[in-house]
Amino acid sequence: MVQYAFYFDNSRCTGCRTCEMACKDSKDLGVDITYRKVLDYEGGSWENVKGDTWRQNCYVYHISIACNHCLSPACVRVCPTRAMHKDDCGIVSVDAHICVGCGYCTMACPYHAPHISPVTRQSSKCDGCLERLNQGKQPICVQACPLRALEFDDIAKLSKIHTYAVRDLQPLPSSDYTSPNLLIKASDAANAVTKGLIEKGTIVNKEQLK
């Protein structure tokens, strides 16, 4: 069985949000909903070395994140009607015929991927642009990225190509929780934060997590 996954090159991403806007436009989403989010993460400080001499280790990097179609999706585990489910390609989707809009999936997902639509009162989320996949096309966010920082394919294939990829990156939740199908090429700054060489930062645009 194929298990689709996203690959994200953190070292390429400039935080332009083209992927985010392309998704909103393609899915005709309202102002308050986006299936793909771009987080800005920054940290570091200045240190007085001697007299008027200062040294800094400030950094900022960007993370483009959507539904990771996890191997153990929290949203599927808590769904009381089984509307949230994984298909044969490993895509986590919502069956609108049986979704009651309880919102348990939105509370359980550590990536804040599902949303309750203000129009349908049902859960909605990234489905990997399934209709485009069936036409042999890539998800719209992948196609739109001007820096080619996103890829979408069978995780077995992506793992062979991107052997250096990691699964954890600050400030994302630990991959141990849901086993997300997300491979990441970390930037130098992100690697330094992970290794504890520089202090952890903060998410600048926390409203994106709502």
Average pLDDT over the chain reads 93
Task: List strand residue ranges (DSSP E) for the chain, in order.
Answer: 4-9, 37-43, 46-50, 53-56, 59-65, 84-86, 92-94, 115-116, 123-124, 150-154, 182-185, 202-203
Q: Which of 42, 76, 33, 40 is closest to 180 using CA atoms?
A: 76
In a domain, 114, yes or no: no
pTM of the model: 0.91
Query: Domain of 169: which CATH number?
Result: 3.30.70.20
In a domain, 108, yes or no: no
Per-residue pLDDT at 167 exceeds 90:
yes
Question: Of the ranges 54-58, 80-84, 123-127, 149-153, which one carries the lowest mean pLDDT score?
Answer: 54-58
15 class by beta-carbon count within 10 Å (0-12 exposed, 13-18 middle, 19+ buried): middle
In a domain, 90, yes or no: no
Pairing, β 182-185 against β 4-9: parallel
What pLDDT, in 10s, does the model give residues 45-100?
888 888 788 888 899 999 999 999 999 999 999 999 999 999 988 999 999 999 99
In a domain, 33, yes or no: yes
Which pLDDT score is estimated for 80?
Answer: 97
Cα distance between residue 95 and residue 135, in whole Å? 21
How many percent of the chain have pLDDT more than 70?
100
Task: List the structure tokens of 3.
Answer: 């298990």
> What is the rounded average pLDDT of the residues 166-181?
96
Under a CB-based contact definition with an 8 Å cutoff, are residues 28 and 34 in contact?
no
> How many separate domains does the chain show?
1
In a domain, 106, yes or no: no
In a domain, 79, yes or no: no
- In this structure, the number of other CB atoms found within 10 A of the CB of residue 64 comes to 23
